[in-house]
Chain A
Amino acid sequence: MNSLGFLRRPWRLAAEASALVIAVVVAFPLYWMVLSAFKPAGEIESSEPRPWTLAPTLDSFRRVFGQQEFGRYFLNSLVVACAVVLASALIAFLAATAVTRFRFRFRTTLLIMFLVAQMVPVEALTIPLFFLMRDFGQLNTLGALILPHIAFSLPFAIWMLRGFVKAVPEALEEAACLDGASRSRFLWQILFPLVFPGLVATSVFSFISAWNDFLFAKSFIISDTSQSTLPMALLVFYKPEEPDWGGVMAASTVMTVPVLIFFVLVQRRLVSGLGGAVKD
C-alpha cells in the first residue's frame, strides 16, 4: 500500500522532519488561539508576547459564558447544524442515486445545474432570500436558517456522493434483484451501507457551512435574539477599533471545539471517503 520502500533513509528522515515542522506551523494559529483564551488580559495586550502563560485563567471564558443566553446560542447552532446534516444527507443520498443509476432526459443538464448552484454568491442571494422568508413568515425562526443551509449544501453533497454511488457495481443491483430484493430493500440495506463513508465525508461539509455561517443568522434573525446562533455571540467581542482579544479567542475556542471533535471522530472515514468520491 505504502510507497516507502524505494526512498533512501536520509531522504525519508528529511521528509519526516519537514512534515513535523509543517504540522507545527499549521497548528500554531490554533495553539495561539487556545493560549490567548487562557491568558490573563494583561498578558495578551503586552508588547512582548510569549508562547506560554504562567498564570492561566478562565476569565475570558467566564466573560463569554456570562454573556446573556450564550448556552441558548450554542444550542441553536447545534440544532441548525444537526438538522441540516441529517436532512441534506438523506436528500443527497436519494438524489445522487437517482442521477447515477437512472438515465433520463436533462440528466447532464441537472448535473451542470448542481455545479452552477455552487457558484452563486450566497451573499448576493441573501437579498431575495430575505424577501422569500418574510413572505413565508419564517423570519426570526430557526427554520429561516435551516432551509437555506440545506439548499446550499445539497448541490455539493450530491456532486460528491455521485462518485460513491457510481463505484458500487451495477452487477450488485442485478444480483440483489435476482435474489428477490425489492428496489427499496436494495437501496436501504445494500447501497446505503456501502455509500455510508461518502455520506460522512459530505456531512462534514454541510456541518461546517451551517455551523460557521453568520451571514444568514445576521440577516434573517433580526429582532428575536433568542433564536440567534454562536457566530453572532462571537461578533459581540470583536470591534475593529478595540477588539477584546481574550473574549474573541475564548469564543472562537468554544466555537471550534465541536467541529474539531466532529472531525476527529470521522477522520478515518473522511480520508477513505474523499478518495472514493472522486475515484470514478
Chain B
Amino acid sequence: MLGGLLVYPIYQLGLISLLEYTQAQVSGGEPTTFQGFANYAELFADPEFWRVLLATVVFAAACVVSTLAVGCALAVLLTRVRALPRLALMLAALGAWATPAITGSTVWLLLFDPDFGPVNRILGLGDHSWTYGRYSAFFLVLLEVVWCSFPFVMVTVYAGIRSVPSEVLEAAALDGASQWRIWRSVLAPMIRPILVVVTIQSVIWDFKVFTQIYVMTNGGGIARQNLVLNVYAYQKAFASAQYSLGSAIGVVMLLILLAVTLVYLRLLRRQGEEL
C-alpha cells in the first residue's frame, strides 16, 4: 500500500513533469504529448522561479535556525526550573503544538491585524500593516512557524537531556564551566542523535511550509512577493492549470531536500555516526 500510495504518485509526478499537461489534456480534449525536459527548461528560464527559490531557501533556513535555537534554549531552561514553571511552559508549548496550522495562521493574523489586533496597540504602531511589506510579511509568517514548531524540538531535546546522567552535568558545573560551555561541550555532543533527527525534520517541514504562507499572505502576498516554492507549485498547477509545470517544481523541491539530507547524513557518517 505504501508503494501504491507513495511510489506511484511520485512516479506520476515525475511523468507529468515531462509531459504537456494542461486543462485541455485533463478533460481529454487533446492528447498528452511527451515534452522531454521542456517544462524544466521553461521553469529555469523564468526569473520568477529563481526569485522564489532564493526566497524559499533563505526563509526555510531562517525558520530552521530560529526554531532550533528557541527549542534548544527552552529545553535547557526546562531542566533548570522546578515542577510548576516547567509544567506551565510545557502545557503552553503543547497548546501551540496542538494548534492546527490553519487556525494558528488565522489567530496570528488577528493578533497582528492593523485595525483590531492587540500587538500594534501594545507596540504603538498605529495601523501599520504587517502583511504589506515583503520582509515584514515573511517575518510574521516566520514568527508563526517558529511558534508552532519549536515545541517538537523543545520536548524532544528535553527528553534527550533527561537521559544524560546528572553526574556528568554536575561535574562540568563543579569544574566551573559556563552554561553555554556545558551545552556546547557536554550536552550537545551527548544528545547528537536527537539533534540530528530534529534538524532533519525541521528542514523537511520548514522547506515545505504551505498553509501558513497560503493563509497569512493570502496565497503569496501582494504582487506574489511572498511566494515560496510549495505555494508557487500549487498556484501553477491549480490556479493556472499548468499541471506539468507544478509537477516540475515539485520534483525540483524533492531533489533539493534530498541533496540537503544526503549531504547532512554524509557529514555525520564521516564523524563516525551510523544511520
Taking beta carbons and an 8 Å cutoff, which residues of A are in contact with B?
1-7, 11-12, 15-16, 18-20, 22-24, 26-30, 32-33, 36, 44-49, 51, 91, 108, 111, 115-129, 131-132, 147-148, 150-152, 154-156, 208, 211-212, 214-215, 231, 234-235, 238, 240, 243, 245, 248-249, 251-252, 255-256, 259-260, 262-264, 267, 270-280
Q: Could you say which of A3, A7, A23 has the most chain B C-beta atoms within 10 Å of its C-beta?
A: A3
- Tally the A-B contacts, defined by beta carbons under 8 Å: 266
Query: Which residue of chain B lies nearest to A47 when distances are taken between CB atoms in the complex?
Result: B115
Which chain B residues numbered 25 to 79 have a C-beta less than 8 Å away from chain A? 74, 77-79
Q: Of A27, A33, A131, A147, which is within 8 A of B103 by CB? A: A33
What's the minimum C-beta distance from B197 to chain A, rounded to whole angstroms? 5
User: Complex Cα distance A16/B88, Å?
Assistant: 10
Q: Could you say which of B102, B111, B166, B211 has the most chain A C-beta atoms within 10 Å of its C-beta?
A: B102
B117 touches A49 (CB 8 A): yes
A252 touches B246 (CB 8 A): no
Q: What chain A residues lie within 8 Å of B200 (beta carbons)?
A: 115
A147 touches B5 (CB 8 A): yes
Q: What chain B residues lie within 8 Å of A15 (beta carbons)?
A: 77, 80-81
New A-B pairs, 12, CB < 8 Å, besides A125-B9, A129-B9: A15-B80, A29-B147, A46-B116, A115-B261, A116-B258, A119-B257, A120-B6, A124-B253, A238-B106, A251-B103, A259-B98, A275-B159
What's the minimum C-beta distance from A121 to chain B, rounded to whole angstroms? 5
B94 touches A264 (CB 8 A): yes
B101 touches A1 (CB 8 A): no
What's the minimum C-beta distance from A220 to chain B, rounded to whole angstroms? 13
B233 close to chain A: CB less than 8 A: yes
Query: Which residue of chain A lies nearest to B171 when distances are taken between CB atoms in the complex?
Result: A6
B10 close to chain A: CB less than 8 A: yes
User: Complex Cα distance A144/B88, Å?
Assistant: 39
User: Complex Cα distance A108/B274, Å?
Assistant: 11
B138 close to chain A: CB less than 8 A: no
Q: What chain B residues lie within 8 Å of A121 (beta carbons)?
A: 208, 210, 229-230, 233, 250, 253-254
User: Complex Cα distance A267/B12, Å?
Assistant: 40
A252 touches B107 (CB 8 A): yes
Q: Of A122, A211, A252, which is within 8 A of B106 by CB? A: A252
B93 touches A256 (CB 8 A): no
User: Complex Cα distance A6/B172, Å?
Assistant: 10
Q: Interface code B95-108, partner A: CB below 8 Å = 1, 0 otherwise?
A: 11111111110111
A127 touches B261 (CB 8 A): no
Q: What chain B residues lie within 8 Å of A234 (beta carbons)?
A: 102-103, 106
Q: What chain B residues lie within 8 Å of A1 (beta carbons)?
A: 162, 166
12 sample A-B contacts, Cβ–Cβ < 8 Å, listed by A number: A15-B81, A30-B96, A49-B118, A120-B10, A122-B208, A123-B231, A127-B237, A128-B8, A128-B12, A249-B107, A249-B110, A273-B159
User: Complex Cα distance A2/B170, Å?
Assistant: 10
B116 touches A18 (CB 8 A): no
A127 touches B16 (CB 8 A): yes
Q: Of A3, A26, A279, which is within 8 A of B160 by CB? A: A279
What's the minimum C-beta distance from B180 to chain A, rounded to whole angstroms? 14
User: Complex Cα distance A32/B109, Å?
Assistant: 11
